[in-house]
Amino acid sequence: MSADHRLVLGIETSCDETAAAVVAQGADIRSSVVSSQVDLHARFGGVVPEIASRAHVELLTPVVAEALVESGAEGPDMHAVAATVGPGLVGSLLVGVAGAKALALVWDIPFVGVNHLEAHLFSAFVEDPSLQFPLVALLVSGGHTMLVAMEGHGHYRLLGSTVDDAAGEAFDKVARFLGLGYPGGPAIDRVAITGDPTAVRFPRAMLDAGYDFSFSGLKTAVVNYVRQHPEAATEDVAASFQQAVVDVLVAKARRAAREIGATSVCLGGGVAANSALREQILDAAAEDGLNAFLPSRAMCTDNAAMVAAAGWWHLGIDGASPLDTGVEPNLALPLT
């Protein structure tokens, strides 16, 4: 029975989240557990601290157990186990990779090392396997901002990336500066709804120059503006800041799609949950005759279902990874 389902257990520990998921044939999600989103405290006891690799050590076993229970499968039913090998924090990555290798040994199944960035690109296909190539993927999160041309699975061309701050980082820092709380993306999104996005004309850095992004100057511009205009309405500043980010992201994704002759554009990463970005990328795609794919919030943010999906694909193309595969904190997207 297990062989028919071709279940892959995915494990993700590259940054803050400890996550595990069971996915059949790279697309059918049987379970997807993310430590910050479930009440592991209630079920397994213990605290749920952030960031440190020690937290991953404490959470990995209960998170994997929960993923297996929710999937209705047993460990030995797995066809393979996939884990993120990079990029990320070395100590955090080691926990997931060591755990995955141990399970692969115990269950006598293949281990597959997965690139976290490539896994994000797979996340759109988990929810919509009918997506057509070539496509432009805009990956925007707290740690990454990149525009990628995909000609097929495994065929990536990095068109551009941030030269300083990631888009999600700009949201978080501006939100904290404006006293809107954490996480900053949803906080700004919420406040911006009642603000005027044209109230302040913040800079759109590198708007017409290539595909790289820069958001550090925008953050400083917001700080400068508020220092000079302490009376400015926070919702107007938030809406104007958000519009500056969205304008740049949408303009570059559009231009990239036109240049490579893409049929689709898709979003990934936590910032893909921003309502202004979603609305405006949909409008732009409709105008340009493109399909736009907007993944669910659960698939935008770090999760292990995308790792299992990428692992499934790599297993079919490249076979298993050797058990002496190391972690790679600075791993880049494999380019063609």
| Stretch of 4-12, 46-54, 184-192, 283-291 contacting another protein, by CB under 8 A | 46-54
Alpha carbons 8 and 26: distance in angstroms, whole number? 8
Compare residues 165 and 236 and give the one whose CB is closer to another protein: 165
Site string for another protein, 92-131 (x = CB under 8 A): ----------------------------------------
Measured N-to-C along each axis, helices 184-192 and 234-260 cross at an angle, to the nearest 10 degrees, of: 110
Alpha carbons 178 and 240: distance in angstroms, whole number? 13
Instruction: Give phi and psi for 86, each to the nearest 5.
Output: 160, 170
Q: How near is the Cβ of 157 to another protein at its closest, in Å?
A: 18
Task: Residue 75: count other Cβ atoms within 10 Å of its Cβ.
Answer: 14
173 binds another protein (CB under 8 A): yes
160 binds another protein (CB under 8 A): no
Among 102, 105, 106, 163, binds another protein (CB under 8 A): 163
Site string for another protein, 183-222 (x = CB under 8 A): ---------------------------------x--xx-x
Alpha carbons 248 and 94: distance in angstroms, whole number? 36
CA distances (Å), origin 278, targets 50, 121, 132, 271: 29, 17, 20, 9
Number of residues that bind another protein (CB under 8 A): 37
Q: Which residue has the tokens 């292990």?
A: 304
What residues make contact with another protein under the rule CB under 8 A?
Answer: 15, 49-54, 87-91, 141-143, 161-166, 168-169, 172-173, 176-177, 216, 219-220, 222-224, 227-228, 329-330
